[in-house]
Structure 1
Amino acid sequence: MQDTMESPSAGQADAQVRKRISVYQPTQPGLIFPEIPTFATHAEERQHRKERLVAACRAFALQGFDYGFAGHLTVRDPEFPELYWTNPMCVHFSNVRVSNLILVDHAGKVVEGAYAVNRAGFVLHAAVHEKHPDILAMCHAHTVYGTAFAALGRPLDPITQDAAAFYEDHVVIKSEAGQVAVEERAGFTVADWFKGVKAAIHQNHGIFTCSTHSIESAAFWFIALERCCQQQLLVEATGHKPVMVPPDKSRFSRDNVGSDYIGWLHFQTIWDQLVRTQPDMLD
């Protein structure tokens, strides 16, 4: 299923205005603007989630987030929430498509699909999904700047409006720092930290994002977090102490541009580009 952005009827437009959940939604009726889709069946929603999961993988490829077989993105199945869809082991992000996704349970068993599951991905993501039933999607990759920043073992500072989106909405995890998570015990130790935040910096490992809303939101906030890590490292490399955004203004920015909805909305530009330039992802 592909979203379209056709002009709504007058009645639909009025309903959209009444249901505004963000200042970025237009108040003027009749304008073209992305709308969160609704689904008539589990099958329809499943297809949607799988397509957006693939798009998130392709977006990670465009960002250069690949590192061998490292990196895993997951989203729950809408009908069977104890199962989750993920990218296949040893397939480059740029080659992930709907047809090679795998469906995995919390024990790491592949229940649909031909490919193996990434062991580290299963240990961490399955633990988070099982520990937090509200978390719908999760992203992790071994990126250059996120991994470098994680070595500092400290939270991101609110030095920009973009970084303020993560203010008081991410954690630094020191448990199992630097040790490859291939034992299930390690996954549950780390999973405890993901409650009520959209991002985590795992010391000596890298960055994670999660979402109770959509894979699109989790994927965009991962891209954003990587950029913020890069920006902070660049600023600190100057040797000058950056000026912080004050706490009240950081919270204002976070509340207005740091929500799951805003992450989803940002991703619509990525989705549109990928549908136009990489239609094979839907195969």
Structure 2
Amino acid sequence: MAEALEHPARPTAPTSRRSVSIYQPTQEGLVFPTEPEFATFAEERLHRKQRLVAACRAFAIEGFDYGFAGHLTVRDPEFPELYWTNPMAIHFAQVNLSNLILVDHTGRVVEGAYAVNRAGFVLHAAVHEAHPDIVAMCHAHTVYGTAFASLGRPLEPISQDAAAFFEDHVVIRSEAGQVAVEEKAGMKVADWFKGVKAAIHQNHGLLTASRHSIEAAAFWFIALERCCRQQLMVEATGSKPVLVSPERSRYSREHVGSEYIGWLHFQSIWDHLTRSQPDMFD
């Protein structure tokens, strides 16, 4: 347990993975999260699995559970054709290291005792296989994201938070409203994830993908759900919101909408969860 609770995300990040951010302190000697580096695949695998569990627990806190619906995945660092995911029919709040499963692109469980969610396999496996650069992906049947998805349109830049998704998300209309249990449905959805971090699947809900980390994918999912809620609240007033201009939206997206910023946001969630839910690492 003590080994699992260590915080390996404090060493100096390798130059190749570091993203420049206006939030990184210029003053030396201050405590600030840094991206980790790994000596072995085993170290990186443990790191990814721990953060996957934490992302599931964060989804539980946010109330993103809906029966067995919802799946989060992260690619294995040594065997990129395999990915780790939460087990079928286990509540987000009960996901831990010991019940994660390792799955291939055909939906075969190669490690772990639990079954894989068929819909999760169809969507996530298709995206992971079609886009080797995508490291992690998140989907859940949330209240506001699902409601907003029924409108079949993108988010508007009504705030700095929403501007983080400006020109960085798509609306997918393929297979809208139909449960994705056939592999051809997954392939139709996968095509849309070129160069964006999020998608609104019409009549279905929200999906996020990250080329950086499971932490980034999870945080941007939480943020996207929040933005959908805010836009629905604004529209419920009957008044037309003042939109952030395209130029300012792009500026905000660049500085507060990057993969690195998503990872950085998640660090406070990680620290909170490691202290409040140590059973994550059972």
State TM-score, norm by structure 1. Answer: 0.95
Equivalent residue, structure 2, for 1:268: 267
* Closer/same/farther in 2, CA of residues 267 and 211 from structure 1, 3 Å limit: same
Match of 1:134, as an amino acid?
A: D
Equivalent residue, structure 1, for 2:105: 106
Counterparts of 1:31 and 1:218, CA distance in 2:
27
Counting matched residue pairs gives 276
Residues 1:127 and 2:131 aligned together? no
- Superposed, 1:71-86 pairs within 5 Å as 71-86=70-85
Q: CA deviation at 1:118?
A: 0.0
Structure 2: segments with no counterpart, 5+ residues: none
Counterparts of 2:87 and 2:264, CA distance in 1:
26
Secondary structure at the residue paired with 2:77?
coil
Q: Return the match for 2:7 from 3, 17, 22.
A: 3
Counterparts of 2:75 and 2:103, CA distance in 1:
10
Match of 1:280, as an amino acid?
A: D
Match of 1:3, as an amino acid?
A: H
Match of 1:61, as an amino acid?
A: A
Map Cα deviations across residues 45-96 of structure 1 (whole Å, 9 max, x no partner): 0000000000000000000000000000000000000000000000000000
Counterparts of 2:187 and 2:209, CA distance in 1:
16
Equivalent residue, structure 2, for 1:91: 90
Equivalent residue, structure 1, for 2:194: 195
Counterparts of 1:22 and 1:241, CA distance in 2:
33
Match of 1:229, as an amino acid?
A: C
Map Cα deviations across residues 198-219 of structure 1 (whole Å, 9 max, x no partner): 0000000000000000000000
Counterparts of 2:194 and 2:211, CA distance in 1:
11
Q: CA deviation at 1:5?
A: 7.5
Contact 2:138/2:217 (<8 A) preserved: yes
Secondary structure at the residue paired with 1:251?
helix
Counterparts of 2:140 and 2:9, CA distance in 1:
31
Secondary structure at the residue paired with 1:209?
strand
Equivalent residue, structure 2, for 1:49: 48
- Superposed, 1:254-265 pairs within 5 Å as 254-265=253-264
Counterparts of 1:142 and 1:221, CA distance in 2:
15
Residues 1:174 and 2:161 aligned together? no
Counterparts of 1:186 and 1:147, CA distance in 2:
19
- Superposed, 1:98-247 pairs within 5 Å as 98-247=97-246
Match of 2:7, as an amino acid?
A: D
Counterparts of 1:151 and 1:20, CA distance in 2:
35
Match of 1:249, as an amino acid?
A: R
Runs of 4+ off more than 4 Å: none
Counterparts of 1:174 and 1:86, CA distance in 2:
26
Secondary structure at the residue paired with 1:46?
helix
Contact 2:72/2:85 (<8 A) preserved: yes
Map Cα deviations across residues 206-234 of structure 1 (whole Å, 9 max, x no partner): 00000000000000000000000000000
Counterparts of 1:140 and 1:57, CA distance in 2:
11
CA RMSD of aligned residues (A): 1.5
Contact 2:9/2:36 (<8 A) preserved: no
State TM-score, norm by structure 2. Answer: 0.95
Match of 2:92, as an amino acid?
A: F
* Closer/same/farther in 2, CA of residues 108 and 20 from structure 1, 3 Å limit: closer
Contact 1:5/1:32 (<8 A) preserved: no
Counterparts of 2:9 and 2:115, CA distance in 1:
37
Secondary structure at the residue paired with 2:137?
strand
